[in-house]
């Protein structure tokens, strides 16, 4: 069945707070118009400020490997390799040999050296390994494009000294990531996790970490992070990785495009999903058209004063072509085959794009018509994690659709359930606004109990993964982080009664609504019916489960609460003029580091003094039609950076027409969607399809 792009009203997004008229503005005309900086739990804004590894490096002894019964030191050989291949590849080889030395043969992944177009140089590298590292073998794999090749280095499984350890079945290794061992000589006084800031352009979090993991030769789950960030944006966030050296990651910057790593430090604990206060947004709306400038100013002031309805944005439901809440509904009903079909079937969005998207459409169509799992896997790109996981499972266990669904990484498969919870919440929020308005608390509302000192915890409720801490290197304790939080939440929520109304102690800002689960309260007014009626329409019970698979059962999910209305924090806005639509109007973290890049002048309307901005562009304009986080390999993601010619400025544009842009800066708690704030401002849809029409 072909699936269409989700529209706002289909997922319950239908109301506004203010009755001010909207105006025209283009959201994400360029991905650099949407800048996101994570805010940690201490309230500090996470920024990329340095690309260098700290001076004090770990003193990890160069490996010695047993060869033909004799212990051989490879320090001098690695030093010689540095002269041949360069420092980054020498560091990579050193880490690789260290893993083997520490007994990690059964779990060590191959490494891929830097792209090399010189065939004679590649031959010299091959010969170097044959002469100096007899326990390793090399071959050639494709580089970032057809003109480049990369040398891959792996353990020689035929080497007698290896004793066949590398053939050990993965299931016998347990569920640990490859890099949780192999560094037994890690200094005791140094934290076992390397924390760094990742800056990325037009890539989602999983995609970027997949690239880095591929280059390091470690699994994606080795990384910990507090939350995923938008794909079509410039974002900076914290990441942790287990037992990796800062110098090794810093050396990747020369090979990464659209991704930079920096601000390294060693810490004792890895990051888990949900461990953040929120995000700081800097959003530029271009092509502003309004009946008057007063309307723009009044609307911006109203957004700062009144806030917006705290809907889950379209991203939550798959803003491309995959209706994730419908997949969630199928899982809650226990319809495993239907859920698998929804994940694998052809989609309307795939045919809208060329090259990569058309290949995906072809693969989906092939599977639909032929039911050939092996043939489809050969065609399907590696970064389609959910689809490939399902097919790999069906390949080994045909017809076992539940097992296929469980093979999807836990973080991804839980998103389907969260999507359906969000679908119910959005509809309930709209009903609350339609029936009772946006100005006062009414009888039967749920509110955050003021007398409870733990009430502030409500700010973190409804995070994108409220019950999951699987982002760290070890996923064995996924639910530990949320237990105490939910204990507090259940005790600090109350139903508004007549005494509360008379006292006036609660305001509209205190009103919350539940995300369905086994331990939440529901309002005692008409809003409770919305949950029950919608779920019943979808064949789902909120109190009973039709199957015994806990993770796909609403009665086994704790549930949580979410504010109905949200005000932007530290809200600022500014009107700008510009004449070249291709120039950036706001400086990114990377541009602040690279001050030598040519600049462009942007003049604020009300200020008058010039402000220089770096002209840097690395646009990959194709919008993804796939809705869940993706992991791409190095070949898929690497590409050329696009630099503007030196000396080019706003005045050089062929179009001299003056345009107006609205720059907004504000902070939102975790899981609040900035697009919903923009929707309140413009009074228009936030769908990608709609805003693309404004560019035409």
Q: Which are the catalytic amino acids?
A: 230
Q: Which residues contact 224 (CB under 8 A, 6 or more apart)?
A: 193, 239, 240, 241, 270, 271, 272, 471, 472, 473
Length of the chain: 696
DSSP conformation letters of 174-240: TT--GGGSS-TT--TTS-SEEEEEEEEES--HHHHHHHHHHHHT--GGGEEES----SSSEEEEEEE
Rounded CA-CA distance 313/298 in Å is: 24
- By DSSP bridging, strand 193-201 and strand 234-242 are antiparallel
| Distance set, CA 438 to CA 326, 434, 513, 558 (Å) | 30, 9, 14, 28
DSSP 8-state code for residue 316: G
Rounded CA-CA distance 237/195 in Å is: 10
* Residue among 206, 147, 249 at smallest CA distance from 408: 206
The HSE-up count of residue 227 (CA atoms within 13 Å, CB side) is 29
Name the strands in the sheet holding 511-515, side by side, starting at the edge strand that comes first in the sequence.
493-495, 446-448, 511-515, 560-563
Rounded CA-CA distance 592/603 in Å is: 19
Furthest-apart CA pair in the chain: how many Å?
A: 87
Rounded CA-CA distance 469/227 in Å is: 10
Q: At CA 460, angle to CA 454 and CA 465, rounded to 5? A: 135
| Distance set, CA 585 to CA 266, 288, 608, 648, 653 (Å) | 35, 14, 15, 15, 15
Rounded to the nearest 10°, the torsion over CA 392, 393, 394, 398 is: 140
Q: At CA 622, angle to CA 618 and CA 624, rounded to 5? A: 115
Distance of CA 278 to the CA centre of its chain: 14
For helices 674-682 and 293-306, give the axis angle rounded to 10 degrees: 140
DSSP conformation letters of 672-684: --HHHHHHHHH-S
Rounded CA-CA distance 411/228 in Å is: 11
DSSP conformation letters of 39-68: E-TTSPBP-----SPPSS---PPPPEEEET
Beta bridge partner(s), residue 289: 24
Helix, strand, or coil here: 145?
coil
DSSP 8-state code for residue 116: B
Rounded CA-CA distance 82/113 in Å is: 12
DSSP conformation letters of 588-643: -HHHHH-TTS-EEEEEETTT-S-EEEE-EE----PPP---S-----HHHH----EE
CB 508 within 8 A of CB 441: yes
| Distance set, CA 652 to CA 377, 550, 579, 585, 602 (Å) | 49, 61, 10, 16, 13
* Residue among 540, 542, 538 at smallest CA distance from 528: 542
Rounded CA-CA distance 367/362 in Å is: 9
């Amino acid at each position: 069945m072909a699936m269409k792009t989700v529209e706002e009203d289909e997922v319950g997004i239908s109301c506004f707070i203010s009755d001010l008229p909207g105006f025209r503005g283009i959201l994400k005309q360029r991905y650099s118009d949407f800048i996101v900086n994570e805010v940690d739990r201490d309230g500090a804004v996470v920024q990329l400020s340095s690309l260098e590894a700290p001076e004090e490096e770990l003193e990890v002894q160069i490996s010695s490997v047993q060869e033909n019964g004799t212990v051989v030191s490879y320090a001098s050989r690695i030093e010689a390799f540095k002269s041949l291949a360069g420092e980054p590849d020498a560091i990579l080889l050193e880490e690789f040999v260290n893993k083997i030395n520490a007994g990690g043969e059964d779990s060590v992944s191959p490494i891929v050296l830097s792209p090399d177009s010189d065939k004679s140089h590649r031959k010299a590298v091959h010969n170097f390994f044959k002469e100096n590292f007899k326990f390793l073998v090399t071959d050639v794999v494709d580089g970032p494009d057809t003109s480049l090749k990369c040398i891959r280095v792996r353990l020689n499984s035929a080497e007698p000294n290896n004793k066949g350890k590398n053939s050990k079945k993965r299931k016998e290794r347990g569920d640990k990531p490859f890099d949780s061992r192999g560094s037994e000589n890690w200094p005791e006084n140094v934290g076992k996790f390397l924390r760094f800031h990742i800056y990325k352009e037009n890539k989602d979090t999983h995609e970027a970490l997949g690239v880095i993991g591929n280059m390091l030769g470690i699994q994606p789950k080795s990384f910990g992070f507090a939350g995923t960030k938008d794909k079509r944006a410039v974002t900076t966030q914290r990441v942790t990785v287990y037992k990796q050296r800062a110098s090794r990651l810093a050396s990747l910057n020369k090979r990464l495009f659209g991704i930079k790593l920096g601000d390294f430090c060693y810490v004792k604990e890895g990051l888990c999903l949900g461990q953040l206060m929120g995000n700081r947004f800097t959003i530029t709306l271009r092509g502003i058209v309004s009946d008057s400038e007063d309307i723009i100013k009044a609307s911006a002031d109203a957004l700062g004063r009144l806030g917006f309805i705290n809907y889950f944005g379209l991203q939550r439901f798959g803003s491309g072509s995959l209706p994730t809440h419908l997949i969630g509904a199928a899982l809650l009903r226990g319809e495993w085959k239907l859920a698998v079909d929804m994940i694998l079937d052809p989609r309307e969005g795939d045919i809208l794009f060329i090259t990569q998207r058309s290949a995906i459409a072809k693969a989906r169509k092939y599977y639909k018509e032929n039911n050939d799992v092996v043939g489809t896997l050969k065609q399907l790109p590696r970064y389609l994690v959910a689809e490939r996981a399902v097919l790999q499972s069906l390949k080994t266990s045909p017809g076992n659709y539940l097992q296929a669904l469980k093979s999807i990484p836990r973080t991804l498969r839980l998103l389907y359930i969260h999507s359906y919870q969000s679908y119910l919440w959005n509809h309930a929020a709209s009903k609350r606004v339609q029936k009772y308005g946006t100005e006062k608390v009414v009888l039967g509302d749920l509110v955050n109990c003021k007398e409870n000192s733990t009430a502030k915890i409500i700010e973190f409720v409804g995070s994108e993964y409220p019950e999951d801490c699987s982002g760290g290197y070890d996923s064995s304790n996924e639910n530990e982080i949320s237990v105490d939080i939910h204990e507090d939440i259940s005790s600090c929520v109350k139903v508004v009664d007549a005494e509360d109304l008379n006292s006036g102690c609660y305001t509209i800002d205190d009103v919350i609504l539940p995300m369905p689960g086994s331990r939440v309260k529901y309002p005692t007014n008409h809003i409770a019916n919305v949950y029950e009626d919608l779920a019943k329409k979808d064949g789902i019970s909120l109190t009973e489960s039709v199957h015994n698979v806990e993770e796909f059962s609403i009665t086994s999910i704790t549930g949580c609460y979410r504010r109905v209305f949200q005000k932007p924090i530290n809200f600022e806005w500014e009107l700008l003029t510009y004449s070249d639509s291709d120039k950036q109007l706001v400086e990114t973290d990377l541009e602040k580091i690279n001050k030598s890049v040519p600049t462009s002048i942007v003049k604020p309307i009300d200020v008058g003094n010039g402000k220089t901005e770096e002209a840097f562009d690395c646009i990959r304009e194709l919008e993804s039609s796939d809705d869940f986080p993706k992991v791409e390999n190095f070949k898929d993601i690497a590409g050329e950076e696009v630099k503007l010619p030196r000396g080019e400025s706003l005045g050089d544009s062929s179009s001299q027409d003056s345009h107006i842009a609205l720059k907004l800066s504000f902070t939102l708690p975790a899981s609040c969607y900035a697009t919903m704030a923009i929707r309140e401002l413009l009074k228009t849809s936030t769908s990608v399809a709609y805003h693309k029409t404004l560019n035409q």
